[in-house]
Amino acid sequence: MKIGVIGGGAWGTALAQVAAHRGEPVTLWAREPEVVEGINAGHENRLFLAGVPLSPSIRATADVGDLAACDALLVVAPAQHVRGVLSQIAVGTRPLVLCAKGIEAGTRLLVGEVARQVHPQAPVAVLSGPTFAHEVAAGLPTAVTLAAADEALGRALSERLAAPQFRPYASRDVVGAEIGGAVKNVLAIACGVVDGAGLGQNARAALIARGFAEMTRFGLARGARAETLAGLSGLGDLVLTCSSTSSRNFSLGVGLGQGRAAADLLADRRTVAEGAFTAPVLREAAAAAGVDMPVTAAVCRLLEGAPVDDVIGALLARPLRQEAS
């Protein structure tokens, strides 16, 4: 199965490296000419994954036509750009493996749902889990959820992408795998705020647990399975990104917690903090589904410029409630 990767950011590059681990040819489409040039000439993506020597089997291209020879396409553009990028590519009936984590603004669609709208004939799978790109690219042990409604497709993709240090776990719960990845980015911002505002380790653990409760409420309302939300793509990724400044979302939260303005923190960044875009859409989607998501609402208020003390005070002053509700 010849793999094509759409998106030459940190994660697309790391996944190309995984797919090329036995020396198989991999085609990587990137927007930035310097990324294409750097990978082909020097086997390095200096813009997004500097310092990692890449397999010479990875061939980068700026021409979407070069993806025509691939049997399956990994979609690794940021969630808000998946529709635009996929619209440029003739996909037909080839499988699309969604690797972005987010919900599309305006439509409130998960990226897999966007892919189905743009390419209705393409089978869809989702690859998601606790996966910092630089660790995966460096060959450190990593496990992911690989979800596909079609079990045979899920098995074929898992076998193709598995590497000694990269272990996919199969699932049929595509929606559950997507919701975990999208929601955890918003919760990672909240955990960063706790860190930046110096609120302590107890508060961080409370946020992870209560954040997971709201991820679960939302996921179940949208048809996800509880086991998926408690697995690699949900709780696993939540724990990872709520614990480390290697997470762009967590780092954004640290800045907000220190009282810096979201607009300043987001200005001129080359890398994507998906939670900042997903948070307002998630708040709308939760309201539409009748699901209470107080941590998500708090992150939205902070992104809108509300003072940290006010937002945290309001979160703590809510009426007491049953833990399991």
Ligand X SMILES: NC(=O)C1=CN([C@@H]2O[C@H](COP(=O)(O)OP(=O)(O)OC[C@H]3O[C@@H](n4cnc5c(N)ncnc54)[C@H](O)[C@@H]3O)[C@@H](O)[C@H]2O)C=CC1
Residues that bind ligand X (CB under 6 A): 7-12, 31-32, 48, 76-79, 81, 84-85, 99-102, 131-133, 271-272, 274
The smaller minimum CB distance to ligand X, of residues 12 and 308, is found at 12
Number of residues that bind ligand 13P (CB under 6 A): 13
Q: Which of 131, 142, 216, 278 binds ligand 13P (CB under 6 A)?
A: 131
The smaller minimum CB distance to ligand 13P, of residues 189 and 286, is found at 189
**What region does 92 belong to: left with phi over 0, alpha with psi -120 to 50, or beta?**
left
Give the Cα separation of 98 and 275 in Å (integer): 17
Single out the residue of 266, 270, 238, 245 nearest to residue 9, CA to CA.
Answer: 270
Catalytic residue positions, numbered: 184
The interface partner of residue 218, options being ligand X, ligand 13P, none and the CB cut-off 5 to 8 Å by kind, is: none
Show contacts with ligand 13P in window 152-181 (CB under 6 A).
none
> What are the Cα distances from residue 6, in Å, to 52, 68, 78, 179, 201?
19, 12, 10, 21, 38
8 Å CB contact between 3 and 23: no
8 Å CB contact between 58 and 74: no
The interface partner of residue 7, options being ligand X, ligand 13P, none and the CB cut-off 5 to 8 Å by kind, is: ligand X
Six-digit token pair at 277? Answer: 């875009």
> Residue 143 — φ and ψ, nearest 5°?
-125, 140
CB of 261 to ligand X, least distance (A): 21
> What are the Cα distances from residue 211, in Å, to 183, 239, 240, 264?
9, 11, 14, 26
The interface partner of residue 305, options being ligand X, ligand 13P, none and the CB cut-off 5 to 8 Å by kind, is: none
2 annotated as a binding-site residue: no
The smaller minimum CB distance to ligand X, of residues 127 and 311, is found at 127
Give the Cα separation of 238 and 112 in Å (integer): 20
Show contacts with ligand 13P in window 218-237 (CB under 6 A).
237
159 annotated as a binding-site residue: no
The interface partner of residue 81, options being ligand X, ligand 13P, none and the CB cut-off 5 to 8 Å by kind, is: ligand X
CB of 80 to ligand X, least distance (A): 8
The smaller minimum CB distance to ligand X, of residues 53 and 84, is found at 84
**What region does 258 belong to: left with phi over 0, alpha with psi -120 to 50, or beta?**
alpha
184 annotated as a binding-site residue: yes
Q: Which residues are annotated as a binding site for NADPH?
A: 11, 31, 101, 133, 248, 272, 274
